[in-house]
Amino acid sequence: MKVQTIMADLERKHPGENEYLQAVREVLESIEEVYNIHPEFEKAKIVERMVEPDRIFTFRVTWVDDRGEIQTNLGYRIQFNSAIGPYKGGIRFHKAVNPSMLKFLGFEQTFKNALTTLPMGGAKGGSDFDPVGKSDAEIMRFCQAFMWELWNNIGPDTDVPAGDVGVGGREIGYMYGMYKKLAREYNTGVLTGKGMTWGGSLIRPEATGFGALYFVEHMLAKAGKSIKGATVAISGFGNVAWGAATKATELGAKVIAISGPDGVVYNPEGMNKEKLDYMLVLRASNQNVVAPFAEKFPDATFIPAKKAWSIKCDIALPCAFQNELNGDDAAELLANGTWCAAEVSNMGCTPEAIAAFQNAGILFAPGKAVNAGGVATSGLEMTQNAMHISWSAAEVDQKLHYIMESIHAACVKYGTQEDGYINYVKGANIAGFMKVAQAMLEQGIV
Ligand code: 2IT
């Protein structure tokens, strides 16, 4: 395989799909060496097949807002790869959603899901619907209209959506309600991230953030370091940021920053239960601003138009959106002495930022390894649904621990360089790729 040739071909076929092309390039550059010693992969054109989604559903979603005006949005579901199991991945509601964004997310999901140790293929979906400022009734009508189009293409053994940015328990509830009505199927396994009284799994809301911190703990232990007493800067204040902040605090770290599109909150005293609970209130308000946190807690300060990366910290955890930490941000963090960065958002760092961290020799791990605890716990939710039982929080948490340990071990196995530095990007990409490639090879040309 020649990465440049494949990328040139993709750029010609999909001009301007920048996030998608960025995600593919990162994976291909990581796996090139390994791929080239497997002529059977080359012969079966595994890479050429793997970089294109199996299929994309595009649909119109029309709904009526609270003023009685008719609104039309675009909806998508991208079924990317089913080599190791049914399609699985979240749904994103955000005004910037487009096919490039969802293709990058579906591609990443394929490798992430392979790392979880569970049998799940990769998918992603979403809409350019902007939840900011919408009423609960508007959210419900939109979710219902979205599912009206999607229901026929998903199912517990075919494709199992979940939440992502802009889609949490409330939205999953509205979508599930409409799914049942349309499909006349009452199998809870069609969606994950459900409420606790109707098939949801304990620990699923916390799982992305908790899993990320379990991964970071392993990374630090391997490097002979501890999270106790470390300062942590987190971007975002939604479900993922909340889970990460909660577990980091529990493990003895001090979460000194959270952020939103409006700026950063500097929180030198760290988090406590009241502050963590308030993050959920802020998220549920649908206003997408973090400033009120500093009004409620006077020991915190709001700094407008600044990112979390402007705060001096030991550990940086992007928890919001792709490419939210760029080369300049990485330089600022490094100058301030940051010694660990872990992507909790998908592709949270730009290639320039990743190169800066790796060149500086600090600990760095990519989203598809760090945040895989979310989808892994979705997989555990599917298992419980299929068995018609529910496990205790302790049981789910213990399985999540085991999965994150396995993912860390796979990264170390494939990512340890001759000089001893662990390239977690390479490790995660090769480990995920090998599993999907082997499955595709054994299933023939389909
Ligand atoms: O990016 C992700 O892994 C998610 N949004 C969770 C997907 C899932 O199916 O739980």
Residue carrying structure tokens 């006077």: 298
**What does the pLDDT average to over 24-36?**
96
Report the amino acid identity of residue 72. Answer: T
> What local confidence, expressed as pLDDT, does residue 23 receive?
98
153 has a pLDDT exceeding 80: yes
Architecture in CATH for domain 53-186 = 3-Layer(aba) Sandwich (3.40)
% of the chain surpassing 90 pLDDT: 99
What's the rounded Cα separation, in Å, for the pair 434 and 446? 18
Q: How far is CA 116 from CA 122, 159, 320, 354, 442, in A?
A: 12, 17, 21, 23, 20
> Among 158, 164, 239, which residue has the most ligand 1 atoms within 8 Å of its CB, making it the best to mutate?
164
Q: Give backbone dihedrals phi and psi of 249, rounded to 5 degrees, phi first.
A: -65, -45
Q: How far is CA 260 from CA 7, 234, 269, 274, 304, in A?
A: 34, 10, 19, 19, 9
Give the atom of ligand 1 at the shortest distance from the alpha carbon of 204.
10
Give the atom of ligand 1 at the shortest distance from the alpha carbon of 105.
1
Ligand 1: distance of its center to the CA of 89 in Å?
5
Ligand 1: distance of its center to the CA of 378 in Å?
8
Give yes or no for a contact between 389 and 407, defined as CB atoms under 8 angstroms apart: no
Torsion angle defined by CA atoms of residues 54, 109, 378 and 319, in that order, rounded to the nearest 10 degrees = -150
**What does the pLDDT average to over 371-380?**
98
Give yes or no for a contact between 430 and 31, defined as CB atoms under 8 angstroms apart: yes
Ligand 1: distance of its center to the CA of 6 in Å?
28
Give the atom of ligand 1 at the shortest distance from the alpha carbon of 371.
3
**What does the pLDDT average to over 51-68?**
98
**Atom 3 of ligand 1: nearest residue by CA position:** 375
**What does the pLDDT average to over 361-366?**
98
Ligand 1: distance of its center to the CA of 90 in Å?
4
Ligand 1: distance of its center to the CA of 65 in Å?
28
> What local confidence, expressed as pLDDT, does residue 1 receive?
77
**What does the pLDDT average to over 261-281?**
98
Of the residues 112, 124, 194, 254, only one is catalytic, namely: 124
Mean pLDDT across the chain = 98
What's the rounded Cα separation, in Å, for the pair 432 and 115? 5
Give yes or no for a contact between 109 and 88, defined as CB atoms under 8 angstroms apart: yes
Residue 124 bears catalytic tag? yes
Sorted by where each begins, the domain ranges of the chain are 53-186, 205-370
pLDDT one-digit tens code per residue, 106-144: 999 999 999 999 999 999 999 999 999 999 999 999 999
> Among 208, 322, 377, which residue has the most ligand 1 atoms within 8 Å of its CB, making it the best to mutate?
208
| Domain 205-370 = CATH 3.30.565.10 | no
pLDDT one-digit tens code per residue, 174-226: 999 999 999 999 999 999 999 999 999 999 999 999 999 999 999 999 999 99
Give yes or no for a contact between 168 and 243, defined as CB atoms under 8 angstroms apart: no
> Among 109, 404, 407, which residue has the most ligand 1 atoms within 8 Å of its CB, making it the best to mutate?
109
> Among 79, 378, 396, 407, which residue has the most ligand 1 atoms within 8 Å of its CB, making it the best to mutate?
378
**What does the pLDDT average to over 237-241?**
97
Give the atom of ligand 1 at the shortest distance from the alpha carbon of 92.
5
Give the atom of ligand 1 at the shortest distance from the alpha carbon of 165.
5
Give the atom of ligand 1 at the shortest distance from the alpha carbon of 89.
9
Provide the pLDDT confidence category of residue 159 given band limits of 50, 70 and 90.
very high
338 has a pLDDT exceeding 90: yes
pLDDT one-digit tens code per residue, 89-99: 999 999 999 99
**Atom 10 of ligand 1: nearest residue by CA position:** 375
Pocket of ligand 1 (CB under 6 A): 88-90, 109, 112, 162, 164, 192, 346, 374-375, 378
Ligand 1: distance of its center to the CA of 113 in Å?
9
